[in-house]
Chains A and B, each alone.
Chain A
Amino acid sequence: GQQLNQSPQSMFIQEGEDVSMNCTSSSIFNTWLWYKQDPGEGPVLLIALYKAGELTSNGRLTAQFGITRKDSFLNISASIPSDVGIYFCAGSGGFQGAQKLVFGQGTRLTINP
């Protein structure tokens, strides 16, 4: 099945730094979702984007729905230790409708205190 291209695959940063990651697709989507997964747990929804060009924030997190509907990015400002985990993007509502999500491979974030 299709997968999104998510980058970078991993990031090693210092506490307090800003983080940026992105997802691209060859297909258009009507929805972009960003999830965070802690080790051994299920993914938790962080931000949902429904409109091309939309910029949405959730605390220190900001995500944007690309104007072409083929990409999205997630920024985390002033990182803290609890931001450690794997971040996944997911797209839906394109050629396959709303029933299924297509996931990126994930970005593993590690923070040095």
Chain B
Amino acid sequence: DGGITQSPKYLFRKEGQNVTLSCEQNLNHDAMYWYRQDPGQGLRLIYYSQIVNDFQKGDIAEGYSVSREKKESFPLTVTSAQKNPTAFYLCASRPTGTGSSYEQYFGPGTRLTVT
């Protein structure tokens, strides 16, 4: 089955610890994205990557880092510098290239709670 997987579904960490959220896709999509969603809010873009070994900051990149070593994988690290890390994190992917669409497809999300 093709799709986007995020693990784990729920993640708990102590304040001051870095934590890495996993995102894997087998859709053969080039572009991948990380969003943050807070209660009652829309989606805000953290980082995105159009191609392997390249990524760009989104609107709220401070306190986060990413890597894109493989086409299928785009892990997000929430560092201790992120002031308010508790949120719902969503990963998405999009096909690129000739005839590709603007449509992004989302994973099931990871809910991170930092205490």
Identify the A interface with B (CB < 8 A). 1, 3, 6, 30-31, 33, 35, 40-45, 48, 88, 90, 92-93, 98-101, 103-106
How many A-B pairs have beta carbons closer than 8 Å: the answer is: 59
Measured CB to CB, the residues of B under 8 A from A are 4, 6, 31, 40-45, 48, 50, 58-59, 88, 90, 92, 101-109, 111
Q: Which residues of B contact A3 (CB under 8 A)?
A: 42
| Most-contacted residue by chain A among B92, B106, B108 (CB, 10 A) | B106
Q: Which residue of A lies closest to B92 (CB)?
A: A42
B residues within 8 A CB of A35? 106
For residue B104, which residue of chain A has the nearest CB? Answer: A101
Q: Can you add 4 more A-B contacts, CB < 8 Å, to A33-B102, A43-B43, A90-B104?
A: A1-B45, A45-B103, A99-B48, A106-B42
Report whether B108 and A42 are in contact in the complex, using a CB–CB cutoff of 8 Å. Answer: yes
B105 to chain A: which residues have CB within 8 Å? Answer: 45
Which 3 A-B residue pairings sit nearest by Cβ, starting from the closest? A42-B106, A1-B59, A92-B102
CA distance A98 to B40 in the complex (A): 26
Residue with the highest number of chain A CB atoms closer than 10 Å, among B4, B42, B101: B42
Contact of B109 among A6, A42, A93, A99 (CB under 8 A): A42
Residue from A40, A44, A90, A105 in contact with B41 in the complex, judged by beta carbons closer than 8 Å: A105
Query: Is B101 a contact partner of A103 (Cβ separation < 8 A)?
Result: no
Across-interface contacts of B50 in A (CB, < 8 A) = 99
Smallest distance from the beta carbon of B79 to chain A beta carbons, Å? 21
